[in-house]
Structure 1
Amino acid sequence: MTRRRILLAATALSLAGFSRAWAQGTPRRVRGTIAGLSGRDLTINTREGGTAAIRLAENFSVSALRRVELSSVAPGTYIGTAAEPGPDGVWRALEVLVFPEAMRGTGEGHFAWDLTPTSSMTNATVDSAVEGNDGRSLTLTARGQKVQVVVPADAPVVTPVPASIEDLRPGAQVFLIATPGPDGGLTAARVTVARDGVVPPM
Protein backbone atom coordinates (compact mmCIF):
# COMPACT_ATOMS: atom_id res chain seq x y z
CA MET A 1 0.00 0.00 0.00
CA THR A 2 1.44 3.41 -0.96
CA ARG A 3 1.99 6.20 1.55
CA ARG A 4 -0.76 8.21 -0.16
CA ARG A 5 -3.26 5.34 0.20
CA ILE A 6 -2.29 4.89 3.85
CA LEU A 7 -2.85 8.59 4.56
CA LEU A 8 -6.18 8.62 2.73
CA ALA A 9 -7.27 5.53 4.66
CA ALA A 10 -6.31 7.25 7.91
CA THR A 11 -8.32 10.29 6.84
CA ALA A 12 -11.33 8.08 6.09
CA LEU A 13 -11.08 6.46 9.52
CA SER A 14 -10.83 9.80 11.28
CA LEU A 15 -13.82 11.17 9.35
CA ALA A 16 -15.76 8.03 10.24
CA GLY A 17 -15.01 8.90 13.84
CA PHE A 18 -16.35 12.41 13.20
CA SER A 19 -19.53 10.84 11.81
CA ARG A 20 -20.05 8.88 15.03
CA ALA A 21 -19.44 12.04 17.04
CA TRP A 22 -22.06 13.91 14.97
CA ALA A 23 -24.56 11.23 15.91
CA GLN A 24 -23.79 11.83 19.59
CA GLY A 25 -24.19 15.58 19.16
CA THR A 26 -20.87 16.26 20.91
CA PRO A 27 -18.32 17.66 18.43
CA ARG A 28 -17.09 21.21 18.08
CA ARG A 29 -16.09 22.53 14.68
CA VAL A 30 -13.10 24.81 14.93
CA ARG A 31 -12.08 27.27 12.21
CA GLY A 32 -9.28 29.77 12.53
CA THR A 33 -5.54 30.28 12.30
CA ILE A 34 -2.78 28.46 14.13
CA ALA A 35 -1.31 30.42 17.01
CA GLY A 36 1.16 27.70 17.96
CA LEU A 37 1.96 23.99 18.14
CA SER A 38 3.86 22.36 21.00
CA GLY A 39 4.19 18.62 20.66
CA ARG A 40 0.60 17.55 20.05
CA ASP A 41 -0.93 20.64 21.68
CA LEU A 42 -2.37 22.94 19.02
CA THR A 43 -3.55 26.48 19.81
CA ILE A 44 -5.94 28.13 17.38
CA ASN A 45 -7.16 31.71 17.14
CA THR A 46 -10.75 31.00 16.18
CA ARG A 47 -12.82 32.90 13.63
CA GLU A 48 -15.13 33.93 16.51
CA GLY A 49 -12.28 35.83 18.14
CA GLY A 50 -11.39 33.42 20.93
CA THR A 51 -8.65 30.85 21.43
CA ALA A 52 -9.08 27.07 21.33
CA ALA A 53 -6.63 24.59 22.81
CA ILE A 54 -6.71 21.29 20.92
CA ARG A 55 -4.93 18.09 21.87
CA LEU A 56 -4.10 16.11 18.73
CA ALA A 57 -4.73 12.37 18.99
CA GLU A 58 -1.73 10.06 18.94
CA ASN A 59 -2.61 8.85 15.45
CA PHE A 60 -3.74 12.24 14.12
CA SER A 61 -3.57 12.99 10.40
CA VAL A 62 -3.07 16.22 8.51
CA SER A 63 -4.56 16.95 5.11
CA ALA A 64 -4.45 19.88 2.74
CA LEU A 65 -6.71 20.61 -0.22
CA ARG A 66 -6.23 20.80 -3.98
CA ARG A 67 -8.54 22.69 -6.32
CA VAL A 68 -10.40 20.62 -8.90
CA GLU A 69 -12.61 21.63 -11.82
CA LEU A 70 -16.33 21.89 -11.22
CA SER A 71 -16.82 19.80 -14.34
CA SER A 72 -15.23 16.86 -12.48
CA VAL A 73 -18.28 16.70 -10.20
CA ALA A 74 -20.10 14.14 -12.32
CA PRO A 75 -22.74 11.46 -11.64
CA GLY A 76 -21.35 8.83 -9.30
CA THR A 77 -18.99 11.26 -7.52
CA TYR A 78 -19.20 11.25 -3.72
CA ILE A 79 -19.07 14.80 -2.36
CA GLY A 80 -19.66 16.96 0.66
CA THR A 81 -21.17 20.38 0.12
CA ALA A 82 -22.02 23.19 2.49
CA ALA A 83 -24.92 25.20 1.10
CA GLU A 84 -27.42 27.92 1.93
CA PRO A 85 -31.09 27.95 0.95
CA GLY A 86 -31.87 30.04 -2.13
CA PRO A 87 -35.08 32.06 -2.65
CA ASP A 88 -36.37 29.34 -4.97
CA GLY A 89 -35.99 26.68 -2.28
CA VAL A 90 -32.95 25.13 -3.97
CA TRP A 91 -29.73 24.93 -1.98
CA ARG A 92 -26.82 27.03 -3.28
CA ALA A 93 -23.38 25.62 -2.59
CA LEU A 94 -20.83 27.59 -0.61
CA GLU A 95 -18.17 24.97 -1.31
CA VAL A 96 -17.78 21.42 -2.60
CA LEU A 97 -15.41 18.79 -1.27
CA VAL A 98 -14.83 15.90 -3.67
CA PHE A 99 -14.05 12.81 -1.61
CA PRO A 100 -11.49 10.29 -2.88
CA GLU A 101 -13.01 6.89 -3.64
CA ALA A 102 -11.46 5.47 -0.45
CA MET A 103 -13.62 7.90 1.55
CA ARG A 104 -16.95 7.13 -0.15
CA GLY A 105 -19.77 7.02 2.40
CA THR A 106 -18.01 9.27 4.94
CA GLY A 107 -20.53 11.13 7.11
CA GLU A 108 -23.36 10.43 4.66
CA GLY A 109 -26.45 12.54 5.24
CA HIS A 110 -28.00 16.00 5.08
CA PHE A 111 -27.76 18.04 8.28
CA ALA A 112 -27.31 21.50 9.76
CA TRP A 113 -23.83 23.02 9.42
CA ASP A 114 -22.35 26.09 11.05
CA LEU A 115 -20.34 27.64 8.21
CA THR A 116 -23.07 30.32 8.16
CA PRO A 117 -26.16 30.72 10.35
CA THR A 118 -28.42 29.06 7.73
CA SER A 119 -26.09 26.56 6.09
CA SER A 120 -26.45 22.82 5.74
CA MET A 121 -23.99 20.05 4.88
CA THR A 122 -24.79 17.24 2.48
CA ASN A 123 -22.44 14.29 2.10
CA ALA A 124 -23.87 12.27 -0.74
CA THR A 125 -23.50 10.67 -4.15
CA VAL A 126 -24.18 12.79 -7.21
CA ASP A 127 -27.12 11.33 -9.15
CA SER A 128 -27.12 13.88 -11.95
CA ALA A 129 -25.25 17.03 -12.94
CA VAL A 130 -26.65 19.60 -15.37
CA GLU A 131 -25.12 22.89 -16.50
CA GLY A 132 -27.41 25.89 -16.07
CA ASN A 133 -27.27 29.68 -16.38
CA ASP A 134 -26.55 30.13 -12.67
CA GLY A 135 -24.17 27.19 -12.16
CA ARG A 136 -23.97 23.43 -12.17
CA SER A 137 -27.14 21.83 -10.81
CA LEU A 138 -26.57 18.66 -8.82
CA THR A 139 -29.08 16.10 -7.63
CA LEU A 140 -27.67 14.29 -4.61
CA THR A 141 -28.85 11.16 -2.81
CA ALA A 142 -27.99 10.67 0.85
CA ARG A 143 -29.54 7.79 2.79
CA GLY A 144 -32.49 7.73 0.41
CA GLN A 145 -33.06 11.49 0.62
CA LYS A 146 -32.71 13.57 -2.55
CA VAL A 147 -31.21 17.05 -2.27
CA GLN A 148 -30.98 19.62 -5.07
CA VAL A 149 -27.91 21.88 -4.99
CA VAL A 150 -26.76 24.53 -7.46
CA VAL A 151 -23.01 25.12 -7.46
CA PRO A 152 -22.16 28.68 -8.62
CA ALA A 153 -19.08 29.09 -10.80
CA ASP A 154 -17.25 30.94 -8.00
CA ALA A 155 -17.83 28.27 -5.31
CA PRO A 156 -14.54 26.59 -4.31
CA VAL A 157 -14.32 22.94 -5.39
CA VAL A 158 -11.54 20.99 -3.68
CA THR A 159 -10.35 17.50 -2.84
CA PRO A 160 -8.19 16.39 0.12
CA VAL A 161 -4.54 15.53 -0.31
CA PRO A 162 -2.04 14.29 2.28
CA ALA A 163 -0.14 16.88 4.30
CA SER A 164 2.19 16.71 7.30
CA ILE A 165 2.75 18.20 10.73
CA GLU A 166 5.29 20.56 9.13
CA ASP A 167 2.34 22.28 7.44
CA LEU A 168 0.88 23.24 10.83
CA ARG A 169 2.70 26.56 10.98
CA PRO A 170 1.65 29.66 12.94
CA GLY A 171 -0.69 31.77 10.83
CA ALA A 172 -1.92 28.86 8.71
CA GLN A 173 -5.70 28.61 8.42
CA VAL A 174 -7.21 25.36 9.62
CA PHE A 175 -10.46 23.47 10.00
CA LEU A 176 -11.01 20.60 12.38
CA ILE A 177 -13.68 18.83 14.37
CA ALA A 178 -12.80 18.30 18.03
CA THR A 179 -14.42 16.04 20.59
CA PRO A 180 -14.71 17.16 24.23
CA GLY A 181 -13.31 14.76 26.82
CA PRO A 182 -14.61 14.15 30.36
CA ASP A 183 -12.48 17.05 31.59
CA GLY A 184 -13.79 19.39 28.90
CA GLY A 185 -10.55 19.32 26.92
CA LEU A 186 -10.80 19.10 23.15
CA THR A 187 -9.17 16.34 21.10
CA ALA A 188 -8.94 16.12 17.31
CA ALA A 189 -7.95 13.20 15.10
CA ARG A 190 -7.54 15.22 11.91
CA VAL A 191 -6.60 18.74 10.85
CA THR A 192 -7.23 20.27 7.44
CA VAL A 193 -4.73 23.06 6.80
CA ALA A 194 -4.34 25.74 4.14
CA ARG A 195 -1.49 25.11 1.73
CA ASP A 196 -0.44 26.48 -1.64
CA GLY A 197 -3.07 29.20 -1.32
CA VAL A 198 -5.99 26.78 -0.90
CA VAL A 199 -7.88 27.57 2.30
CA PRO A 200 -10.29 25.07 3.92
CA PRO A 201 -13.66 26.38 2.69
CA MET A 202 -15.88 24.20 4.87
Structure 2
Amino acid sequence: MMNTLAAAGLAVTLASSFASAQTNSAFTLSGLVEKASATSVSVRNDDGGTVETYALGQNLIVLQNKVATLADIKPNDFVASAAMTGPDGKLHSTELRIFPEAMRGLGEGQRPMNDARHQTMTNATVTGAVVVNGSNTITVTFANGGKAELILDPGVPVTRIDVADRALVRSGAKVRVQGMREASGAVATRITIQ
Protein backbone atom coordinates (compact mmCIF):
# COMPACT_ATOMS: atom_id res chain seq x y z
CA MET A 1 0.00 0.00 0.00
CA MET A 2 2.83 2.39 0.95
CA ASN A 3 4.61 1.73 -2.38
CA THR A 4 1.37 2.42 -4.27
CA LEU A 5 0.92 5.76 -2.46
CA ALA A 6 4.56 6.71 -3.06
CA ALA A 7 4.26 5.82 -6.75
CA ALA A 8 1.03 7.82 -7.04
CA GLY A 9 2.66 10.81 -5.32
CA LEU A 10 5.64 10.62 -7.67
CA ALA A 11 3.33 10.40 -10.71
CA VAL A 12 1.40 13.51 -9.60
CA THR A 13 4.67 15.41 -8.99
CA LEU A 14 6.05 14.45 -12.40
CA ALA A 15 2.77 15.32 -14.14
CA SER A 16 2.72 18.74 -12.43
CA SER A 17 6.33 19.38 -13.43
CA PHE A 18 5.60 18.34 -17.01
CA ALA A 19 2.49 20.55 -17.20
CA SER A 20 4.44 23.47 -15.75
CA ALA A 21 7.25 22.94 -18.26
CA GLN A 22 4.68 22.84 -21.08
CA THR A 23 3.03 26.14 -20.10
CA ASN A 24 6.22 28.03 -19.23
CA SER A 25 8.00 28.08 -22.57
CA ALA A 26 10.08 30.81 -24.17
CA PHE A 27 9.00 32.37 -27.45
CA THR A 28 10.46 34.74 -30.03
CA LEU A 29 8.63 36.26 -32.99
CA SER A 30 8.95 39.15 -35.38
CA GLY A 31 6.18 41.29 -36.77
CA LEU A 32 4.41 44.66 -36.91
CA VAL A 33 2.76 46.27 -33.91
CA GLU A 34 -0.99 46.54 -34.53
CA LYS A 35 -1.84 48.12 -31.17
CA ALA A 36 0.06 49.01 -27.99
CA SER A 37 -1.02 50.13 -24.53
CA ALA A 38 0.61 50.56 -21.14
CA THR A 39 -0.09 46.90 -20.33
CA SER A 40 -0.07 44.97 -23.62
CA VAL A 41 1.05 44.86 -27.24
CA SER A 42 -0.66 43.21 -30.23
CA VAL A 43 1.68 42.07 -33.01
CA ARG A 44 0.91 40.81 -36.53
CA ASN A 45 3.31 37.88 -36.89
CA ASP A 46 5.60 37.91 -39.97
CA ASP A 47 5.22 34.13 -40.38
CA GLY A 48 1.49 33.88 -40.92
CA GLY A 49 -0.03 37.27 -40.47
CA THR A 50 -1.90 36.25 -37.32
CA VAL A 51 -2.25 38.86 -34.58
CA GLU A 52 -1.28 37.87 -31.05
CA THR A 53 -1.56 39.99 -27.91
CA TYR A 54 1.09 39.86 -25.20
CA ALA A 55 1.02 41.28 -21.68
CA LEU A 56 4.00 43.54 -20.98
CA GLY A 57 6.18 42.09 -18.22
CA GLN A 58 6.97 44.21 -15.15
CA ASN A 59 10.67 44.22 -16.08
CA LEU A 60 10.14 44.69 -19.82
CA ILE A 61 13.29 45.75 -21.68
CA VAL A 62 12.84 47.77 -24.88
CA LEU A 63 15.81 47.87 -27.25
CA GLN A 64 16.43 49.45 -30.64
CA ASN A 65 18.73 48.22 -33.41
CA LYS A 66 20.72 50.96 -35.12
CA VAL A 67 22.99 50.59 -38.14
CA ALA A 68 26.64 50.97 -37.14
CA THR A 69 30.04 50.64 -38.83
CA LEU A 70 33.31 48.87 -38.08
CA ALA A 71 34.61 52.22 -36.79
CA ASP A 72 31.93 52.14 -34.06
CA ILE A 73 33.49 49.04 -32.44
CA LYS A 74 35.57 50.23 -29.48
CA PRO A 75 37.76 48.53 -26.86
CA ASN A 76 35.69 47.26 -23.93
CA ASP A 77 32.49 47.00 -26.03
CA PHE A 78 30.55 43.81 -25.31
CA VAL A 79 29.70 42.26 -28.69
CA ALA A 80 27.96 39.25 -30.19
CA SER A 81 29.09 37.87 -33.52
CA ALA A 82 27.91 35.05 -35.72
CA ALA A 83 30.87 33.73 -37.70
CA MET A 84 31.86 31.02 -40.16
CA THR A 85 35.23 29.34 -40.47
CA GLY A 86 36.89 30.66 -43.62
CA PRO A 87 39.31 28.89 -45.99
CA ASP A 88 42.13 30.29 -43.83
CA GLY A 89 40.78 28.35 -40.82
CA LYS A 90 39.84 31.57 -38.99
CA LEU A 91 36.43 32.81 -37.85
CA HIS A 92 34.99 35.39 -40.27
CA SER A 93 32.10 37.37 -38.83
CA THR A 94 28.83 37.24 -40.79
CA GLU A 95 27.29 39.93 -38.55
CA LEU A 96 28.28 41.74 -35.38
CA ARG A 97 26.11 43.40 -32.73
CA ILE A 98 27.38 45.90 -30.17
CA PHE A 99 25.42 45.45 -26.94
CA PRO A 100 24.51 48.21 -24.48
CA GLU A 101 26.24 48.13 -21.09
CA ALA A 102 23.04 46.77 -19.50
CA MET A 103 23.47 43.59 -21.59
CA ARG A 104 27.16 43.02 -20.79
CA GLY A 105 27.74 39.33 -20.15
CA LEU A 106 24.57 38.15 -21.91
CA GLY A 107 25.31 34.75 -23.47
CA GLU A 108 29.04 35.22 -22.88
CA GLY A 109 31.13 32.49 -24.45
CA GLN A 110 31.67 30.79 -27.77
CA ARG A 111 29.51 27.98 -29.08
CA PRO A 112 28.18 26.43 -32.28
CA MET A 113 24.91 27.84 -33.58
CA ASN A 114 22.13 25.49 -34.59
CA ASP A 115 21.82 26.67 -38.19
CA ALA A 116 22.35 25.37 -41.71
CA ARG A 117 25.50 27.48 -42.17
CA HIS A 118 27.34 25.82 -39.24
CA GLN A 119 28.16 29.18 -37.71
CA THR A 120 29.76 29.89 -34.35
CA MET A 121 28.33 32.47 -31.92
CA THR A 122 30.84 34.52 -29.93
CA ASN A 123 29.72 36.88 -27.14
CA ALA A 124 32.66 38.64 -25.46
CA THR A 125 34.45 41.91 -24.68
CA VAL A 126 36.55 43.63 -27.36
CA THR A 127 40.15 43.97 -26.18
CA GLY A 128 41.95 44.83 -29.42
CA ALA A 129 41.56 45.58 -33.11
CA VAL A 130 43.90 45.72 -36.10
CA VAL A 131 43.43 46.04 -39.87
CA VAL A 132 45.09 43.27 -41.90
CA ASN A 133 44.76 43.05 -45.70
CA GLY A 134 41.72 45.35 -45.68
CA SER A 135 39.86 43.36 -43.03
CA ASN A 136 39.47 44.30 -39.39
CA THR A 137 40.55 41.66 -36.93
CA ILE A 138 39.22 42.07 -33.42
CA THR A 139 40.40 40.23 -30.35
CA VAL A 140 37.75 39.44 -27.78
CA THR A 141 38.19 38.21 -24.22
CA PHE A 142 35.84 36.09 -22.13
CA ALA A 143 35.25 36.53 -18.39
CA ASN A 144 37.21 33.31 -17.76
CA GLY A 145 40.28 34.85 -19.44
CA GLY A 146 39.95 32.98 -22.73
CA LYS A 147 40.45 34.86 -26.01
CA ALA A 148 39.28 34.59 -29.60
CA GLU A 149 39.88 36.44 -32.86
CA LEU A 150 37.18 37.46 -35.30
CA ILE A 151 37.83 38.73 -38.82
CA LEU A 152 35.38 41.38 -40.01
CA ASP A 153 35.66 41.56 -43.78
CA PRO A 154 34.43 44.68 -45.61
CA GLY A 155 30.64 44.76 -45.83
CA VAL A 156 29.92 42.75 -42.68
CA PRO A 157 26.73 44.17 -41.12
CA VAL A 158 27.34 45.88 -37.78
CA THR A 159 24.44 46.84 -35.50
CA ARG A 160 24.41 48.80 -32.26
CA ILE A 161 21.70 47.79 -29.82
CA ASP A 162 20.56 50.66 -27.59
CA VAL A 163 18.12 50.72 -24.68
CA ALA A 164 15.03 52.52 -26.01
CA ASP A 165 11.98 54.31 -24.69
CA ARG A 166 8.80 52.22 -24.32
CA ALA A 167 6.95 54.89 -26.31
CA LEU A 168 8.64 53.54 -29.48
CA VAL A 169 6.51 50.39 -29.16
CA ARG A 170 3.58 51.80 -31.14
CA SER A 171 1.36 50.95 -34.06
CA GLY A 172 3.34 50.27 -37.25
CA ALA A 173 6.67 49.57 -35.51
CA LYS A 174 8.63 46.54 -36.78
CA VAL A 175 9.55 44.53 -33.67
CA ARG A 176 11.04 41.32 -32.37
CA VAL A 177 9.23 40.13 -29.24
CA GLN A 178 10.72 37.69 -26.74
CA GLY A 179 9.01 36.35 -23.66
CA MET A 180 7.39 33.45 -21.86
CA ARG A 181 4.14 31.59 -22.45
CA GLU A 182 2.66 31.02 -19.00
CA ALA A 183 -0.56 29.43 -17.79
CA SER A 184 -2.08 32.92 -17.53
CA GLY A 185 -1.02 33.89 -21.07
CA ALA A 186 2.00 35.13 -23.03
CA VAL A 187 4.19 37.79 -21.39
CA ALA A 188 6.67 39.92 -23.36
CA THR A 189 9.96 40.41 -21.48
CA ARG A 190 11.99 42.03 -24.29
CA ILE A 191 10.92 44.00 -27.36
CA THR A 192 13.50 45.05 -29.93
CA ILE A 193 12.57 47.80 -32.39
CA GLN A 194 14.02 46.77 -35.76
TM interval, shorter chain, is 0.5 to 0.7
CA-CA distance at 1:131 after TM superposition: 0.9
Task: Classify 1:115/1:171 alpha carbon distance in 2 versus 1 (closer, same or farther; 3 Å).
Answer: farther
Secondary structure class of the residue paired with 2:75: coil
What residue is the counterpart of 1:187 in the other structure? 187
CA RMSD of aligned residues (A): 3.0
Task: Classify 1:149/1:49 alpha carbon distance in 2 versus 1 (closer, same or farther; 3 Å).
Answer: farther
The TM-score with structure 1 as length reference comes to: 0.64
Unmatched tracts of structure 1, length 5 or more: 1-25, 195-202
Secondary structure class of the residue paired with 1:61: strand
CA-CA distance at 1:70 after TM superposition: 1.1
Secondary structure class of the residue paired with 2:179: strand
Aligned counterparts of 1:117 and 1:162: Cα–Cα separation in 2: 30
Aligned counterparts of 2:182 and 2:73: Cα–Cα separation in 1: 37
Aligned counterparts of 2:67 and 2:94: Cα–Cα separation in 1: 14
Unmatched tracts of structure 2, length 5 or more: 1-24
What residue is the counterpart of 1:122 in the other structure? 122
Aligned counterparts of 1:120 and 1:171: Cα–Cα separation in 2: 33
Aligned counterparts of 1:148 and 1:182: Cα–Cα separation in 2: 44
Secondary structure class of the residue paired with 2:122: strand
**1:65-104 equivalence runs, <5 A:** 65-104=65-104
What residue is the counterpart of 2:107 in the other structure? 107
* Aligned partner letter, 2:82: A
Q: Percent of counterpart pairs with the same letter?
A: 30
Aligned counterparts of 1:110 and 1:52: Cα–Cα separation in 2: 36
Number of residue-to-residue matches in the alignment? 166
The TM-score with structure 2 as length reference comes to: 0.66
CA-CA distance at 1:171 after TM superposition: 4.5
- Conserved in 1, the CA contact under 8 Å of 2:79 and 2:97? yes
Task: Classify 1:114/1:175 alpha carbon distance in 2 versus 1 (closer, same or farther; 3 Å).
Answer: farther
